Amino acid sequence: HMGPQKVDREVDSVCPFCGVGCLVTYQVRDPDPTGAVPARIISVKGREGPANEGRLCVKGRFGMDYIHSPDRITKPLIRKPGVAKDLSLIDGHTDWREVFREATWEEALTLATQPLNTLRQQHGPKSLAGFGSAKGSNEEAYLFQKLVRTGFGSNNVDHCTRLCHASSVAALLEGVGSGAVSNPVRDVEHSDLIIVIGSNPTANHPVAASWMKNAAQRGTRIVLADPRITDIGRHTWRNLQFKADTDVALLNAMLHVIVTENLCDEKFLRERADNVVELKAHVRDYTPEVMSAVCGIPADTIREVARAYASAKAAMILWGMGVSQHVHGTDNVRCLIALASITGQIGRPGTGLHPLRGQNNVQGASDAGLIPMMYPNYQRVTDQSAHDWFEKFWDTKLDDQPGYTVVEIMHKALAPESDPHKVRGMYIMGENPAMSDPDLNHARHALASLQHLVVQDIFLTETAWLADVVLPASAWPEKTGTVSNTDRTVQMGRQAVQPPGDAKPDLWIVQQIAQRMGLDWPYAGEHDGVAAVYEEMRQAMASAIGGIDWARLNAGSVTYPCVSADDPGQPIVFHDHFPTKDGRVWLVPAGLIPAAEQTDAEYPMVLITGRQLEHWHTGSMTRRATVLDALEPAATASMCSADLVRLGLQAGQQVRIASRRGEVQLQVRCDDGTPQGAVFMPFAYVEAAANELTNAALDPFGKIPEFKYCAVRVSALQPS
């Protein structure tokens, strides 16, 4: 698809994969004159954008032809009567015609919505739930949460933020009053030192990693703290390969050094921080010598790195899901907030806290209220004034109780009939919990047990196989809307080609469902009223995007907070105050909490799950992208050479990996960046789904599952 072909037109947009938010230009070939060959994106160029300056990674440059895959759903599908929701369908080998029949939109929308209305009438609003998507636009996220809150009648709405940075957001809201980043990635250019912790940026945020490497070339010292030493470790000053699950031990030891060696920024603490005495007292017990035995990093190295961070002119911390996806994920981030605060490494260029957001629009979808405890702009549903404001704004009665989160909704789907909050019907737009949730056996049973499931997607995902009605949606280049990247920059994506067959823009579909649930929404205009939806969202989020109107976004990217037309936007925040009630940061001491599941004689190794450069999340897009699939066609598990020798395995050999919840079979790959006693698996492959093994234990604050740690056994599948 990507060979040299005539380009008829170019369309400016944003990359649909990761949260870096690289700007792209699609090069489009118009339909041939007979109409037999529809318009196609034949190549993608990097465009000058604040996050990428023309750079793209392999996904952005070569991954876009998933939209032209013959697997696209092009008509609404209805489950045939009597076809059971058998989990074996999920392997994708069944012909879809045995399970579904094609339908008109009118029939499909009626059959999608009527059972939702019936369930709501018979069992109440909490019997329904919705998962929106961090892959869609801000406008889609906003309308989806509005549909659940005003149409379904509860706050049972969530999305994959629960699976990535929910604990980061919980700690950041508690500590600094804002869940977003303080400084953009490119600010590493102004840092003397950066700490990259729990992140593999070369694979997961490749263009962001390129700015880090450029900074290192100019003299910035990078500290990588991670149980796995990944590619960025070739560009670092120090690699802290700490034992998996011991983040708090390492970070508290660094805090101990800074406190006991009087390296704190006392002026900053006096003027801008609370709970300082308690934090300082708490970390006194965490000496590097004692914590070294826990985390495996020599005490001298802990001291050296702590001193370097505290004494740097400007130092920044960037982190990924290695920090957040633990039962102590919120505590991990509390420690990072404490580190930045006690050293005054925040509020200036080259400093601050940056949770690297995963999905292209997970920041925007969270901002737009696609979370069960908050309305748009992080207004708590339990806050009476926020509740009253939104009741008036949307002219309807609203539930004032937080809804259930992603994993809780799966539990509630399997609750006994007698449970008044049993979830019986769901609408899932652009998410794939049958691959992305922990303990997939449980999650898939939960989805299959629903009385009614509506799935809106571009492919028959693993989740869609369990649906009653499947609504064919649009891929990102087939619609217009805005997204917000990891830097808080709002950017415009534009339609380049038409959706295939009868597939429709998601914004249109959500409005059709809303109409059939009795809602009378007024959005009119081009692209299903997207600008009108944005304008309403702008009113609901005035303190963030109030100064960014649609015309301004059409002209270029803007970073919020931006509160008026002449406000240029604020890439760096917290200069002189934090957006907390008293303007000060709240420091929270963290203790050592072990992973929910420990290794033992039966399951002696630790499983760490994550992503790889070529594949995106559950693989539904990238495994259908020709170049990316050719580069990484099959599931592999990575182990270090010492473990391979110890277990009598050879690279390339098929192995069985089993946990208490399931087992998978796949090839083993040698990677000496993976620590001894651990195995790393990407979660993109249905034929060896890593999440069949993972543990659904939750962080109590962020309700995020522990994807980064569970106990497994690895054994040879056949003699080598």
Closest separation between CB of residue 59 and ligand SF4, Å? 4
Are the C-beta atoms of residues 580 and 192 closer than 8 Å to each other? no
What sign does the dihedral 302-305-307-309 (CA atoms) show?
Answer: negative
| Contact set for ligand SF4, span 373-432 (CB under 6 A) | none
Closest among 159, 234, 241 to 198, alpha carbons compared: 241
| Contact set for ligand SF4, span 193-222 (CB under 6 A) | 205-207
Closest separation between CB of residue 61 and ligand SF4, Å? 7
Closest separation between CB of residue 194 and ligand SF4, Å? 18
Q: Tell me if 15 contacts ligand SF4 by CB under 6 A.
A: yes
Number of residues that bind ligand SF4 (CB under 6 A): 14
| Contact set for ligand SF4, span 263-292 (CB under 6 A) | none
Q: Based on CB atoms, which residue is closest to ligand SF4, 51 or 273?
A: 51
CA distance 387 to 380: 8
Position closest to ligand SF4 via CB: 60
Q: Based on CB atoms, which residue is closest to ligand SF4, 55 or 703?
A: 55
Residue of 13, 21, 115, 230 interacting with ligand SF4 (CB under 6 A) = 21
Q: At what angle do helices 384-394 and 526-540 cross, to 10 degrees?
A: 150
Closest separation between CB of residue 23 and ligand SF4, Å? 9
Q: Tell me if 17 contacts ligand SF4 by CB under 6 A.
A: yes
Q: Tokens standing for 51?
A: 């996050």
Closest separation between CB of residue 182 and ligand SF4, Å? 21
Q: Based on CB atoms, which residue is closest to ligand SF4, 21 or 561?
A: 21
Q: Tokens standing for 144?
A: 């989806």
Q: Tell me if 588 contacts ligand SF4 by CB under 6 A.
A: no
CA distance 186 to 318: 11
CA distance 373 to 543: 19
Inter-CA distances, 652 with 230, 655, 671, 684, Å: 20, 9, 12, 19
Closest separation between CB of residue 47 and ligand SF4, Å? 11
Q: Tokens standing for 41?
A: 């994106």
- Count CB-CB contacts under 10 A for residue 349: 15
Closest separation between CB of residue 122 and ligand SF4, Å? 44
Q: Based on CB atoms, which residue is closest to ligand SF4, 40 or 59?
A: 59
Residue of 20, 232, 315, 655 interacting with ligand SF4 (CB under 6 A) = 20
Closest separation between CB of residue 221 and ligand SF4, Å? 23
SS3 at position 324: helix
Are the C-beta atoms of residues 351 and 341 closer than 8 Å to each other? no
**Angle at Cα 29 formed by Cα 27 and Cα 31, nearest 5°?**
150
CA distance 101 to 300: 66
Q: Tell me if 698 contacts ligand SF4 by CB under 6 A.
A: no
Which among 54-62, 105-113, 154-162, 459-467 is the span making contact with ligand SF4, rule CB under 6 A?
A: 54-62
Closest separation between CB of residue 308 and ligand SF4, Å? 28
| Contact set for ligand SF4, span 177-196 (CB under 6 A) | none
Q: Tokens standing for 629?
A: 């699939």
Residue 337 CB contacts under 8 Å (≥ 6 apart), including other chains: 171, 172, 175, 176, 353, 585, 587, 588
| Contact set for ligand SF4, span 160-179 (CB under 6 A) | none
**Angle at Cα 353 formed by Cα 296 and Cα 699, nearest 5°?**
60
Q: Tell me if 371 contacts ligand SF4 by CB under 6 A.
A: no
Closest among 684, 698, 687, 692 to 712, alpha carbons compared: 692
* Amino acid letter, 69: S
Closest separation between CB of residue 145 and ligand SF4, Å? 24
DSSP string, 157-170: EE-THHHHTHHHHH
| Contact set for ligand SF4, span 55-74 (CB under 6 A) | 56-57, 59-60
Task: Point out which residues bind ligand SF4 (CB under 6 A).
Answer: 15, 17-18, 20-22, 52, 56-57, 59-60, 205-207
